[in-house]
Amino acid sequence: MTEKDISDPKVGVALVLTCMDLRVLDEAADYLEALKLTNEYDHFVLAGAALGVTQTQKPAWGETFWDHLGLAIGLHQISKVFIFEHQDCGAYKKLVPDEAARWSNGADEKACHHGYATALQKEILRRHAGVITDVELRYIAIEQGTVNGHVETF
């Protein structure tokens, strides 16, 4: 246990947004552990990650994210958000099928994810200016036909 753990166990570093896909949870946790953030973040799981927040078909999803982010700020004084998008996301195929149908390669798919993640990044920084000072975007590339992935930057 560190001094921070003893002095104030409620203070955290970040909120982490990931998709619900079982193939990405371990990769995100391992990445954060390598950054020495174990037990330093609140984890919010939502199908589609950034898309889940920004889409309009299920408005309660976005409302719930914003409520949780506000709560994380209030309870744990977080100042950072990580958004983990991932390859082969079923939520994208379900919620934005026309966009997903246009992906001719991995670069197209990654660009689509980047667009939604960037839009959410800007909105988080706008809504919580001066409180959230950093929103990091990450992409988990998944090896075709496996559950193995690795974290990349956009």
pLDDT digits over 41-100, tens only? 999 999 999 999 999 999 999 999 999 999 999 999 999 999 999 999 999 999 999 999
pTM for this predicted structure? 0.92
Average pLDDT over residues 29-33: 98
Check residue 29 and give its pLDDT.
97
Q: With respect to residue 7, please indicate whether it lies within any of the assigned structural domains.
A: no
Q: With respect to residue 5, please indicate whether it lies within any of the assigned structural domains.
A: no
Task: Examine the pLDDT at 130 and tell me if it is beyond 80.
Answer: yes
Q: With respect to residue 113, please indicate whether it lies within any of the assigned structural domains.
A: yes
Q: With respect to residue 19, please indicate whether it lies within any of the assigned structural domains.
A: yes
Supply the CATH number for residue 25's domain: 3.40.1050
Rounded Cα–Cα distance for residues 116 and 54 (Å): 7
Token pair of 103 as six digits: 């992906």
Q: Which DSSP category does 89 fall into?
A: -
Average pLDDT over residues 109-135: 98
Token pair of 42 as six digits: 């609140």
Report helix, strand or coil for 83.
strand
Q: How many domains does the chain have?
A: 1
Which among 19, 18, 22, 16 is positioned nearest to 37, based on CA atoms? 16
Q: Out of 7-11, 87-91, 128-132, which region has the weakest mean confidence (pLDDT)? A: 7-11
Check residue 11 and give its pLDDT.
87
Rounded Cα–Cα distance for residues 48 and 54 (Å): 10
Rounded Cα–Cα distance for residues 86 and 19 (Å): 8
Rounded Cα–Cα distance for residues 123 and 126 (Å): 5
